[in-house]
Amino acid sequence: MGRSDEFDDTSSLTGDLLGLDLEENDSVMTIGIDFGTTYSGVAWATASEFNKREINLITEWPDWPHEESKAPTQIYYEHDAIFWGYSVPRDSDPLAWFKLLLLKDEDLDQKIRSSEFIIRAKRKLRDENRSAVEVVADYLRALWGHTLEMIAKARGETILDGMSFHIVITVPAIWKGYARQSMRDAASKAGLLADRDAGKTRLSFVPEPEAAALASLSEPGFKVLPGGVYLICDAGGGTVDLITYRVSRVEPAIALDEAVEGIGGLCGGIFVDDAFERICKARMGTRWNYLSRNGIQEILKDEWEMGHKRHFKLQNASNEYIVSIPAEAFAKTGGFDDTSMEPHIKNGRIHFKGPDIQRAFEGSFSDIDKLIETQIQKATGNNTAVNGIILVGGLGSSRYLHQHLSDRYRKAGITVRSAICRGAIYKGFLDADRDDVSTQGLNIKSPISVSSTISRLSMGVRHTGFFDPSKHDAADRFWDSDEAAYKGEKISVGKPVRHNFYRIYSVNEFDGGLWEIFYQCGESSPPSVWSDGSVQRLCDLHTNTNIPSSALKDHTSADGKKTSKKKLEFDLEMVPSGASIEFGLYVGEKKQGSQAVKIEYE
């Protein structure tokens, strides 16, 4: 007699975003944080501002004289002092690319694991004796403090203190649940969820390409085609994420359905930077070793990041792209000229030609091409023709990437355009939780929403079900003495995301705690019999119901006989929310508070 379990599946989950049609109220402020691998930015708006498309973008940063939409995602520790963004000293060796360290090594391909960026970041973590979550928390704490300062400057401390917050953080679409949970832990450590007199702060996540789609497809002046299909390419500093939407409606507001399942990869702007650094090292030879940290920053930041990388376009092959070399590189070698090989060094400046600069982009662009081709082929396989490609993100603003993709897809009739993304704000106002009081009273008039997304996984819990000879194998059945009945196993496929369960306890065995394990299956057709190979543990849910064992119901077995056992009935709920699945537990109709529910990802 063998134990048999069922996998209660909730596949085909969709991330519906529902607008609210309530009375306008500006007591809630939505704050969108675009936490990037290389640069991070913040936008904010109240409901009335959002309705008027007046989204505020922070462009003023500590220790930086110019307006910029983002600040570097870098942090530097010196004794008890923490420097971040533009405040990091030029001659320091800051911690960077630490966002990628929230991923486990097994979720990074070999090329990324062996990247100098990752190796350098891991070494810095060890040197600082800090975890990736701690470093992300330190950066977010500084970014959040500056954000509150800028909002208070614009609105006043008193008004700000009277508003509750909904914080929305962008995350890569390829991130798994444990990485999003690490981001939530970091946000909590950073004080983003600290108690406020105005009420509880809500935190949610949005996949970076979904945020990009919400903002870019609703930009004024951009006319989407009814039935049109648009591929959003969010090319950031670390990840490049793709998502493809079909426009199901344009009036009274644009409605989007995900056309094919999105994909992503680690081939963003830092890999272009890495390639350019290697090109410079190869050309300068031993001179590179004489550069200080500040000297290296002059080349990689001033000359490259703020200059040629942004504005480069492949034009006449004879065009020159000049990079100045700090004088310290020539201190021990003498002479500022070297015409023994190309590109020539004249008067302490490298005279790159177009093909030299082009080489820095080739590896990243090759990977981006493969991602886009895969996405277009998926769409074509579903009898869906892509009408346009929209580029967003740091690398997405590259003139050369726009030129490269335009040339590549012009004959296919696919237009390519660039857009500015403030989509976390859209997500914040659209993603209304029916149990969240912070969204009550908002009269949202959004020009766009996502009607559905494509399920990536089947999710559910193991449970014991009654044996049904029409569904179960007799070899799997066993006798359950508590129920006085045979039980069996099946993985059912269905759309409901809330299911009822019960547990049987001996008298005084129940201590008020409940522990459930959620599982995931990535196969398009989940197996009908439990499989340890295809069904994997996703996360554990722990909760304290505060229900005394005396309050449990008496248990009656399947044959109608009253037993000495007690029974706890409860509902498990899984709610899709853009970048993640939110889990809930109900006893009766009462949802257990989030403070009593703890979720731990594998």
The per-residue pLDDT for range 474-510, each reduced to its tens digit, is 555 544 445 444 333 332 223 346 777 778 888 778 8
Provide the pLDDT confidence category of residue 169 given band limits of 50, 70 and 90. Answer: very high
Instruction: Tell whether 408 is covered by a domain.
Output: yes
Same domain? 55 vs 98: yes
Instruction: Tell whether 22 is covered by a domain.
Output: no
Same domain? 584 vs 552: yes
Share of the chain above pLDDT 90, in %: 38
Residue 186, H or E segment: helix 177-189
Same domain? 239 vs 384: yes
Residue 99's domain comprises 28-208+422-445
pLDDT of residue 479: 44
Residues with Cβ within 8 Å of residue 108, at least 6 apart in sequence: 100, 118, 266
Task: Please write the tens of the pLDDT for every residue from 171-182.
Answer: 987 788 889 999
Same domain? 408 vs 299: no
Same domain? 303 vs 182: no
Cα angle 409, 34, 45 (rounded to 5 degrees) comes to: 110
Cα angle 147, 150, 153 (rounded to 5 degrees) comes to: 150
Residues with Cβ within 8 Å of residue 185, at least 6 apart in sequence: 133, 137
3-state secondary structure of 342: coil
Maximum Cα–Cα distance across the chain: 98
Instruction: Tell whether 20 is covered by a domain.
Output: no
Q: b/e for 99-118, b at 16 or more Cβ within 10 A?
A: bbbbbeeeebeeebeebebb
Instruction: Tell whether 23 is covered by a domain.
Output: no
pLDDT of residue 460: 63
pLDDT of residue 457: 58
Task: Please write the tens of the pLDDT for every residue from 287-297.
Answer: 999 999 899 99
Instruction: Tell whether 460 is covered by a domain.
Output: yes
- In degrees and rounded to multiples of 5, residue 253 shows phi and psi of -145, 155
Number of domains in the chain: 4
pLDDT of residue 23: 37
Instruction: Tell whether 18 is covered by a domain.
Output: no
105-114, 272-281, 291-300 — which is least confidently predicted? 105-114
Task: Please write the tens of the pLDDT for every residue from 405-462.
Answer: 999 999 888 988 877 667 788 777 776 433 444 444 556 677 776 665 565 556 666 6
Same domain? 35 vs 151: yes
Could you count the other beta carbons within 10 Å of the beta carbon of residue 351? 16
Same domain? 79 vs 122: yes
Using the Cα atoms of residue 581, residue 585, residue 590 and residue 593 in order, give the sign of their dihedral: negative
pLDDT of residue 578: 54
Q: Which amino acid is at 563?
A: T
Same domain? 242 vs 184: no
Same domain? 261 vs 188: no
Q: Which amino acid is at 96?
A: A
Residue 97 contacts residue 38 (beta carbons within 8 Å): yes
**pLDDT mean across residues, the chain:** 80
Same domain? 257 vs 392: yes
CATH number of the domain where residue 224 is located:
3.30.420.40
Report the alpha-carbon distance of residue 234 to residue 239 in Å, rounded: 8
Name which residue leads in pLDDT, 517 or 153: 153
Q: Is the pLDDT of residue 184 over 90?
A: yes
Helix axes 177-189, 132-155, angle to 10 degrees: 60
CA dist 103 to 176, 193, 270, 444, Å? 8, 23, 17, 36
**Tokens at 108, concatenated:** 């990074």
Same domain? 430 vs 506: no
Task: Please write the tens of the pLDDT for every residue from 221-248.
Answer: 788 888 999 999 999 888 898 989 999 9
pLDDT of residue 18: 29
Same domain? 302 vs 344: yes
Q: Is the pLDDT of residue 14 over 90?
A: no
Instruction: Tell whether 515 is covered by a domain.
Output: yes
Report the alpha-carbon distance of residue 271 to residue 91 in Å, rounded: 22
Instruction: Tell whether 469 is covered by a domain.
Output: yes
